[in-house]
């Protein structure tokens, strides 16, 4: 089992891209794509309804989660105020969702405002454990570095932080209670940023001389 020693388990961008390309044929690939592109938790993905997708603003509202209680999947409200949030979607992710909705319609599953976005083959809300197990089967099949499903969330955040996305933006996207927690969790991908900031400041002053 391969783990990153400094910070949470995650993949570099190339491995994430490889994983998503290799799982594109799967029925529930859109759920894996959404988790990777938004950093949503598996319960949040499983709890989505079609009315949560606001196509006019290109955002998803996260207000509920599907949790496993005594082996059964039950819908509950998200635990904290900050977990209740809106996440901006990129154009590619919206294309994936539109294609998935068309497939849902072909399968005869309802796609109204209160209907679940992700369902099993029988049209029932997908069990969060099903998403979890699907992910792990594919990681083993592809012989990729082993990370847990939550590692997709860490990968999303780590790549954003490494790309220079403001910590506050990443924190709000993940639904963290405080940006300080986000910074402490992902500071392992920040080495060099301080040097870049110092150089940038020097260049700003040099430009005024």
126 vs 180, more confident: 126
Could you please report the per-residue DSSP string of the chain? ----SSSS----HHHHHHHHHHTTTSTTHHHHHHHHHH---HHHHHT-BGGGEETTTTEEEE-EEEEEETTEEEEEE-SSTTTSEEEE--HHHHHHHHHHHHHHHHTT---STTSBSSB-TTSSBPPHHHHHHHHHHHHHHTTPPP--THHHHHHHHHHHHHTT--HHHHHHHHT-S-HHHHHHHHGGG-TTHHHHHHHHHHHHHHTT-
Residue for token pair 């979607």: 89
Q: How far apart are CA 74 and CA 76, in angstroms?
A: 6
The set of residues, in sequence order, having a beta carbon less than 8 Å from that of 70 and lying 6+ positions away, is none
Q: Residue 171's beta-bridge partner residues?
A: none
Q: pLDDT tens digit string along 181-197?
A: 888 888 777 656 666 76
The pLDDT of residue 167 is above 70: yes
Q: Which of 5, 33, 8, 2 is nearest to 186 (CA)?
A: 8
The pLDDT of residue 146 is above 80: yes
Q: pLDDT tens digit string along 88-125?
A: 999 999 999 999 999 999 999 999 999 999 999 999 99
Q: What is the mean pLDDT of residues 150-171?
A: 91
pLDDT at residue 5, as a whole number: 44
């Amino acid at each position: 089992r391969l783990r990153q020693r400094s910070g949470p388990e995650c993949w570099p961008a190339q491995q994430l891209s490889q994983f998503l390309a290799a799982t594109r044929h799967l029925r529930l690939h859109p759920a894996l794509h959404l988790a990777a592109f938004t950093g949503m938790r598996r319960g949040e993905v499983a709890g989505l309804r079609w009315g949560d997708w606001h196509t006019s603003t290109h955002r998803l509202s996260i207000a509920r989660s599907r949790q496993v209680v005594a082996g059964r999947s039950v819908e509950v409200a998200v635990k904290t105020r900050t977990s209740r949030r809106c996440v901006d979607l990129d154009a590619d992710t919206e294309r994936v969702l539109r294609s998935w909705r068309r497939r849902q319609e072909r399968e005869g599953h309802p796609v109204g405002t209160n209907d679940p976005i992700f369902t099993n083959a029988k049209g029932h809300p997908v069990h969060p454990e099903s998403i979890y197990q699907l992910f792990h089967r594919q990681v083993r099949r592809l012989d990729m570095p082993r990370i847990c499903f939550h590692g997709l969330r860490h990968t999303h955040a780590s790549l954003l932080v490494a790309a220079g996305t403001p910590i506050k933006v990443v924190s709000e996207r993940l639904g963290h209670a405080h940006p300080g927690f986000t910074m402490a969790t992902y500071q392992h991908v920040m080495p060099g940023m301080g040097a870049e900031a110092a150089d940038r400041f020097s260049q700003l002053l040099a430009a005024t001389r």
